[in-house]
């Protein structure tokens, strides 16, 4: 771990990222990336019994947001956020949806047709 991997807990004490994740550094089981959208399946009250970091994520994810946004809001490094989100997905507290790959994006013709239709309204 490098010096930049340090985070602070709510009490102001220094906590290494590997402590927050239980020693795990990677979680590729769901292939989460920065643009993956996540949303909580439960209320913050239903997640009160979870460890602090997990409960913070559930509170923040009451509306869909990207993995990158979650990391920014809870002030944890992205790899740590991915591990925590994977745990929450596995425990059915959070669901996710990956962004469409660029190859599946609509082509220019389709986008122009949509724009033309909107203009006619």
Q: Which of 9-23, 42-56, 92-106 has the lowest mean pLDDT?
A: 9-23
Residues spanned by the domain of 89: 24-120
pLDDT at residue 12 in the model: 46
pTM of the model: 0.69
What token pair was written down for 112? 């122009």
Tell me, yes or no, whether 111 lies in a domain: yes
Percent of the chain with pLDDT over 90: 46
Q: What is the C-alpha to C-alpha distance for residues 105 and 17, in angstroms, rounded to an integer?
A: 36
Into how many domains does the chain fold? 1
The per-residue pLDDT for range 70-121, each reduced to its tens digit, is 999 988 888 889 999 999 999 999 999 987 676 776 778 878 888 888 888 7
pLDDT at residue 8 in the model: 53
Tell me, yes or no, whether 19 lies in a domain: no
Q: Specify the CATH number for the domain of residue 69.
A: 1.10.10
The secondary structure of the chain, three-state, reads: CCHHHEEECCCCCEEEHHHHCCCCCCCCCCCCCCCCEEEECCCHHHHCCCCHHHHHHHHHCCCCEEHHHHHHHHCCCHHHHHHHHHHHHHCCCEEEECCCCHHHCCCHHHHHHHHHHHHHC
Q: What value does the mean pLDDT of the chain take?
A: 81
Tell me, yes or no, whether 2 lies in a domain: no
Tell me, yes or no, whether 56 lies in a domain: yes
Tell me, yes or no, whether 63 lies in a domain: yes
With beta carbons less than 8 A apart as the criterion, state whether 31 and 42 touch: no
Tell me, yes or no, whether 92 lies in a domain: yes
């Amino acid at each position: 771990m490098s010096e930049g991997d340090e985070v602070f807990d709510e009490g102001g004490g220094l906590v290494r990222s590997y402590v927050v994740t239980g020693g795990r550094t990677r979680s590729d089981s769901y292939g989460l990336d920065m643009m993956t959208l996540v949303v909580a399946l439960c209320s913050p009250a239903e997640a009160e019994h979870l460890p602090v970091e997990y409960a913070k994520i559930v509170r923040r994810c009451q509306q869909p947001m990207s993995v990158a946004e979650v990391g920014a809001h809870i002030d944890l490094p992205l790899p740590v956020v991915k591990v925590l989100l994977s745990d929450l997905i596995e425990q059915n507290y959070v669901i996710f949806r990956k962004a469409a790959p660029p190859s599946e994006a609509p082509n220019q013709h389709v986008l122009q047709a949509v724009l033309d239709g909107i203009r006619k309204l």
